């Protein structure tokens, strides 16, 4: 089964490709010739995931899934949330985003946060949604160089290291995206039977 993952992000593409069953052939936006950035104008992660999947399905006529992920920090009232990728500005700079979060949290001891991923799937004229959440804490500085985004400052609950210090295999086993994609994978396997 061929399906488009509505992303240009190679890190995300590889992360997801490792999790999907072998009968799913994963295509990126680049693979289908969609070179533009699809505007994420939703006010929630769910809305943004749906907007991207719907754009690919309506424009290219292809089955597609899309995700949107946010880091939600208790002390920042859920920020950066839906604006996680562009928290420090439209240039979408990871170092700037991390610096802004750390700066805004300097005076708080409440480090609780969670990552949430929402996956929206358009398949054969039907729509489905899956989510994954991982609880954790924001560290006071960056640790590790692995992963991407806020991974070097997010320490998942029950672990002594950040996502940025974990191997991709360990991160995928416990991450928000991994949890959402496993729900998607279970759905694919169910419909293949």
Active site (catalytic) residues: 68
Contact 158, 177 (CB under 8 A): no
Residue 161 corresponds to which tokens in the numbers above?
A: 């290291």
- The residue whose two tokens read 């399905």 is 57
Separation CA 188–CA 116 (nearest Å): 21
Residue 86 corresponds to which tokens in the numbers above?
A: 């562009």
**Cβ-based burial of 41 (10 A; exposed 0-12, middle 13-18, buried ≥19):** exposed
**Cβ neighbours around 33 below 10 Å, total:** 7
Q: How many angstroms from the chain centroid is the CA of residue 159? A: 20
Q: Are strands 112-123 and 2-5 parallel, antiparallel or unpaired?
A: unpaired
Contact 146, 164 (CB under 8 A): yes
Separation CA 89–CA 16 (nearest Å): 27
**Cβ neighbours around 132 below 10 Å, total:** 22
């Amino acid at each position: 089964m061929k399906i488009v993952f509505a992303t240009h992000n190679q890190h995300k593409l590889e992360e997801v490709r490792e999790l999907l069953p072998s009968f799913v052939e994963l295509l990126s936006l680049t693979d289908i010739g969609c070179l533009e950035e699809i505007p994420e104008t939703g006010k929630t992660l769910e809305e943004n995931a749906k907007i991207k999947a719907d754009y690919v399905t309506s424009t290219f006529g292809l089955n597609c899934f899309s995700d949107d992920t946010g880091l939600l920090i208790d002390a920042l009232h859920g920020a950066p949330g839906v604006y996680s990728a562009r928290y420090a500005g439209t240039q979408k700079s990871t170092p700037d985003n991390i610096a802004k979060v750390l700066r805004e949290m300097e005076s708080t001891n409440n480090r609780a946060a969670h990552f949430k991923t929402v996956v929206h799937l358009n398949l054969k004229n039907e729509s489905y949604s899956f989510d994954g959440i991982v609880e954790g804490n924001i560290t006071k500085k960056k640790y590790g160089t692995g992963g991407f985004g806020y991974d070097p400052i997010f320490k998942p609950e029950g672990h002594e290291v950040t996502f940025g210090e974990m191997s991709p295999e360990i991160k995928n086993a416990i991450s928000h995206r991994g949890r959402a994609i496993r729900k998607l994978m279970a759905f694919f396997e169910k419909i293949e039977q």
